Structure 1
């Protein structure tokens, strides 16, 4: 157990890195945006895991595997967001309560829904996250941080691909007779 008694860096504080040569006000905006994306990504991650655990029905296996993989991609993206916020001089957000309070998306709740409803909820969340990520790519570009913009763009590709896969699962065509 740690014997350290003092806080080294307080959440919400930003100490811009001299090596990155970005102005303090710009770094503060970037860290805030990254923490917003981090919160949204973790809310998405937990919802995807919930659906991964609870999916049932004729298409169980494919959807179960997809949701597990999508959750894994969300978790990896969350790690990248937190590490970039820290590299810029910020303190990455931590904790489920903080994520839900600061995320621009809301989880569906604790009840288990049919998989179509669950995927519709995921689709809505993905759409909101895609819009926010696009705004933050533009913000990073406008603030002169091509590295953050590139990282967000690269991950936006995966987020959009996962959303597109959910669109396919929600199509009304199926080999299963109703």
Structure 2
């Protein structure tokens, strides 16, 4: 392990960027992107937990659904982090920093029934979707159309995944409940 301790960029600093976006504007957008990144990782960990603990008659399709959802979130987080860096910022990293920075809250370590878990996920998706829309508006208003476009693409996938949670939560099902308990 290296003993060199030279800090090349402070985590809270936004340096001049080669994209020629004004420093003040870049700082505002980096701040918003780091919130989106933190939110993505809170959602990622909650979805991953649900992937691990889901049980019941619909185990396999739900297990696979959660996997696809958290993979989408992880891919989006990577794109957000790379854009943050391109704008001269440092992507928020580390679970403690991400949790502190996020505007959404992890449901906790307890295991809930599948409907409750999915309702918690859908609620978090809704909060993240609203936050993403704000970030898109900010980027547009500051003239950072590339960030706005990137976030629009991520928003489409996020909304689609959120809508799939909504479908799972409908009351129509082919799975029969036990008539007597």
- TM, length-normalised to structure 2: 0.96
- SS of residue matched to 2:173: coil
The unaligned stretches of length 5 or more in structure 2 are none
**Aligned partners of 1:16, 1:35: CA distance in 2, in Å?**
17
Structure 2 residue aligned with 1:61: 60
After superposition, the CA RMSD in angstroms is 0.8
| CA positional deviation for 1:3 | 3.6
Q: Does 1:6 align with 2:22?
A: no
- SS of residue matched to 1:6: coil
- SS of residue matched to 2:172: coil
**Aligned partners of 1:22, 1:176: CA distance in 2, in Å?**
54
- SS of residue matched to 1:112: coil
**Aligned partners of 2:82, 2:16: CA distance in 1, in Å?**
14
Q: Does 1:48 align with 2:47?
A: yes
Q: Does 1:84 align with 2:96?
A: no
Structure 2 residue aligned with 1:163: 162
- SS of residue matched to 1:12: coil
| CA positional deviation for 1:171 | 0.4
Deviation string 1:104-131 (CA, Å, 9 cap, x unpaired) is 1000000000110000000000000000
- SS of residue matched to 2:96: helix
| CA positional deviation for 1:4 | 2.3
- TM, length-normalised to structure 1: 0.97
Structure 1 residue aligned with 2:173: 174
Q: Which runs of 4+ in 1 moved over 6 A?
A: none
Q: Does 1:105 align with 2:74?
A: no
Deviation string 1:38-89 (CA, Å, 9 cap, x unpaired) is 0000000000000000001111111110100110111111111111000000
Q: How does 1:25-44 map onto structure 2 within 5 Å?
A: 25-44=24-43
- SS of residue matched to 1:119: helix
| CA positional deviation for 1:175 | 1.0
* Count of residue pairs brought into register by the alignment: 177
Structure 2 residue aligned with 1:20: 19
**Aligned partners of 1:176, 1:86: CA distance in 2, in Å?**
47
| CA positional deviation for 1:2 | 2.7
Structure 1 residue aligned with 2:125: 126
**Aligned partners of 1:121, 1:48: CA distance in 2, in Å?**
10
